[in-house]
Amino acid sequence: MSEQPLNPSPAGSPDDAAADAGPAASEPTAPARTGSTAADALSDAPAADAADAASAAKADLSAEEAAALRAASFERARRLRQEPRFPGGPAADPAGSHHERRIRSFQPRRSRVTTGQQESLERLWPKWGLDIDGKRVLDLTEMFGGLPVVLEIGFGMGEATAQMAADDPGTGILAVDVHTPGQGNLLGLADRAGSTNVRVANGDAIILLREMLAPESLDGLRVYFPDPWPKARHHKRRLIQPEFLDLVAPVLKPGAIVHCATDWEPYAEQMLEVLTAHPRFENTAADGGYAPRPAFRPLTRFEGQGLDKGHVVHDLLFARV
């Protein structure tokens, strides 16, 4: 199960950003180019030829014309980012002016939306979808007809979320992700199962927690298999941090459960340390360690593949005090 939640940590230095952007030494070397482009030809040409080509290109445009072309290109890119991929569906940039410079624990992914997922988005998004725009406080009582509500951050393709909704129709699930194919897939799965207790939220979970949820409005939080960001320089991108828990605690009811699961041992250790140290949360495990997998959390295909490889999955259940 692939998760795409968001990290409230403050933005790093320019050096951090450069390090994040570059490949790690442990990553495989990029394959040799098999195609040919004008840029490739220029980079492969002798230095003198490249300099001559660059000078000729500059001579064809005045400084004003070059600046105008750059501005037009930036404006086109900005419009594309803001245009929804499906009219009436999830917005490309729902928060808009709420954008902040901060380290995030997710990387937006672009992948193909199937015909079925597109049909689900177009038909069901107006009914069960919402954009995280930071402009209003959600009335969860009205939205879920008075059901207790748990927030799930990062649901991948939505199979586990759909199964939990079908197994427990008396609990509302507010499921957040930024992956469009997964959003469409979850909507379709819930619809085919006849589940009406799922709402799919598109956008930044930090804005949702900070600006769109009333105090003590949630009965639980689920974070299953978030990106472990295994490289040391990327640990600052992990979701479960003290600052994140500071945002979570006020919107949870007393006794509400924060349930995390991961198959990455070092991240499990960090989760346990951070949750144990926070004054607003208490471990439900009697020995102060990990908890057995609750029966309500499905064994996903992703988890099964990890178990087949010898991975150990850790569940953590902490109550808000």
Q: Which of 177, 204, 219, 227 is catalytic?
A: 227
- 227 is an active site residue: yes
Read off the tokens for 154. 């990062």
In this structure, are residues 186 and 162 in contact, taking their beta carbons and an 8 Å threshold?
yes
Report the alpha-carbon angle 77-82-88, nearest 5: 140
CA of 65: how far to CAs of 38, 60, 71, 77, 292, in Å? Answer: 21, 10, 10, 19, 65
Structure tokens at 153: 């951050």
Rounded Cα–Cα distance for residues 197 and 52 (Å): 65
Type of residue numbered 145: G
| Strand intervals (E) in the chain | 129-131, 149-153, 172-177, 198-202, 218-224, 252-262, 281-283, 314-320
Q: Which residues contact 58 (CB under 8 A, 6 or more apart)?
A: 66
237 DSSP assignment: G
CA distance to 7, 271, 311, per residue, from 204 (Å): 9, 21, 30
Q: Which residues are catalytic?
A: 227
